[in-house]
Amino acid sequence: LLRALAAQASALAAADQILVARMAGGPLCGPGRRPPAADILDNVVNRFFIGAIQPRAAALNRRYHELLPPITELEQMLDPALPAAYQAWRGRRDAQFAALAEAPRRHVQTLLAIQEPCKRGAPGGR
């Protein structure tokens, strides 16, 4: 699970870097201007992110929320007997899992940010 979440986070972070670099050059769309790149981006988002990546991300998220609560419950029952080193590792593990599980949400925010200028008033904006 950790490996799958890390691979997902890495791939989405790489895509986010490309989107952020594009946004640094100015908005994708402007008043009265919707370049073909905006339609291409919409197609890529629909076909690959919504059609393929998001369902896998949702499955990983379900798995995360199915597996971690029983482990956490067991660790809480054993807490008085757990060594300090284990408790420290558990804190790092939980923080790492939480950060990796947020990758799809961060990616959606980046996608919304690059698409937003195209949705507010440009011809053909959706």
Q: How many domains is the chain built from? A: 1
Q: Is residue 88 part of a domain?
A: yes
What pLDDT, on a 0 to 100 scale, did the predictor assign at position 64? 94
The pTM score is: 0.84
What pLDDT, on the 0 to 100 scale, is given for residue 111?
A: 97
Residue 125 within any structural domain of the chain: no
Which structural domain range is residue 73 located in?
2-119
In a domain, 79, yes or no: yes
38 in a domain, yes or no? yes
Asked if residue 107 belongs to a domain, the reply is yes
List of long-range contacts for 7-15, beta carbons under 8 Å, 24+ apart = 8/56, 8/57, 8/60, 8/100, 8/103, 8/104, 9/99, 9/100, 9/103, 12/53, 12/103, 12/104, 12/106, 12/107, 13/103, 15/107, 15/110
- Would you say residue 126 lies in a domain? no
Question: With 70 as the cut, is the pLDDT of residue 54 above it?
Answer: yes
For 72-126, write each residue's pLDDT tens digit: 999 999 999 999 999 999 999 999 999 999 999 999 999 999 999 998 754 544 4
